[in-house]
Amino acid sequence: MNEMNHLSALDAGFLHMETAETPMHVGSLHHFEMPDGYAGNWFEDVKAHVAQRMHLAPVFTRKLAAMPFELANPIWIEDDDIDLDQHIRHVTLPAPYSEVRLHALIARLHSTLLDRSRPLWEFYAIDGLPGNSRAFYMKLHHAGIDGKAGVAFASAMFDATPEPRVIRKPHRRKSAGRYQLGFAELLGAAVQNNVAQTAKLVTMLPRTARAMYAAWDEGNKEWAKGAASNGLLAQLKTMKFKAAPRTPFNVTITNQRSFTGVSLLVDDVKRVAKLHGASVNDVGMWICSTALRRYLKDANELPDESLMAAVPISVRAEGDTSANNQVTMGRVELFTNEGDPLKRLAGIKASAQEMKQNAGGMRGAIPMDFPSLGVPMLASGMASLMGRSKLSERLPAVANVLISNVPRPREPLYMAGGKMTTYLPVSAISHGMALNMTIHGYNDQLAFGLLACRRTVPDIEVLGSYILPAFEELCILSQHVAVRDATAKPPEKRRPEKASAA
Q: Assign 190 a pLDDT band (cuts: 50, 70, 90).
A: low
pLDDT of residue 382: 73
In our burial notation (b when 16+ CB lie closer than 10 A, e otherwise), range 137-174 reads bbbbbbbbbbbbbbbbbbebbbbeeeeeeeeeeeeeee
State residue 495's pLDDT score.
46
Please give the angle made by the CA atoms of 127, 462 and 27, to the nearest 5 degrees: 45
Q: Are 163 and 419 in contact (CB under 8 A)?
A: no
Round to whole Å and give the CA distance between 198 and 273.
45
Q: How confident is the model at residue 479 (pLDDT cuts 50, 70, 90)?
A: confident
Amino acid at 53: R
pLDDT tens digits for 297-321? Answer: 999 999 999 999 999 887 666 655 5
Sheet holding 435-442, edge to edge: 257-265, 445-453, 435-442, 401-406, 308-314, 327-333
Give the separation between CA 212 and CA 238, rounded to whole angstroms: 21
Can you give the pLDDT at residue 204? 47
Beta bridge partners of 313: 328
User: Measured between alpha carbons, how far is 277 from 273 in angstroms, rounded to an integer?
Assistant: 6
Name the β-bridge partners of 124. Answer: 89, 137
Residue 202 has pLDDT above 60, yes or no: no
- How far CA 417 is from CA of 106, 161, 163, 425, in Å, comes to 23, 9, 7, 22
Average pLDDT over residues 412-426: 96
Minimum mean pLDDT among 253-257, 310-314, 462-466: which range? 310-314
Indicate the SS3 state at residue 178: coil
Quick check: 338 pLDDT over 90?
yes
Phi, psi of 276 (to 5 degrees): -95, 5
Tell which wins on pLDDT, 391 or 414.
Answer: 414
Q: What is the pLDDT of residue 474?
A: 95
The tens digit of pLDDT for each residue in 1-35 reads 345 577 887 788 888 889 999 999 999 999 999 99
- pLDDT for res 323: 56
Residue type, 243: A
| Residue 110 pLDDT > 50 | yes
Average pLDDT, integer, range 361-373? 52
Residue 462 has pLDDT above 60, yes or no: yes
Q: How confident is the model at residue 395 (pLDDT cuts 50, 70, 90)?
A: confident
Q: What is the mean pLDDT of residues 61-72?
A: 80
**pLDDT for 483:** 43
pLDDT at residue 265, rounded to an integer? 94
pLDDT at residue 355 in the model: 85
Mean pLDDT value across the chain: 81
Pairing of strands 75-78, 445-453: unpaired
Strands (E), 128-241: 133-141
pLDDT at residue 356 in the model: 82
Phi/psi of residue 56, nearest 5 degrees? -85, -15
Contact 248, 447 (CB under 8 A): no
The predicted model gives 103-110 an average pLDDT of: 98
pTM (predicted TM-score): 0.82
| 229 pLDDT higher than 50 | no
Beta-strand (E) ranges in 266-413? 308-314, 327-333, 401-406
| Range list of β-strands (E), 193-277 | 257-265
**Which range (2-11, 22-31, 211-220, 399-408) has the least confidence?**
211-220
DSSP per residue over 337-350, as a string?
A: T---HHHHHHHHHH
- How would residue 366 be classed by pLDDT, with cut points 50, 70 and 90? low
- Is residue 326 within 8 A of residue 315, CB to CB? The reply is yes
Nearest to 292 by CA among 249, 261, 329, 352: 249
Q: Which domains does the chain have, with CATH numbers?
A: 1-502 (3.30.559.30)
Determine what percent of the chain is predicted with pLDDT higher than 70. Answer: 71
From first CA to last CA, the distance across the chain in angstroms is 67
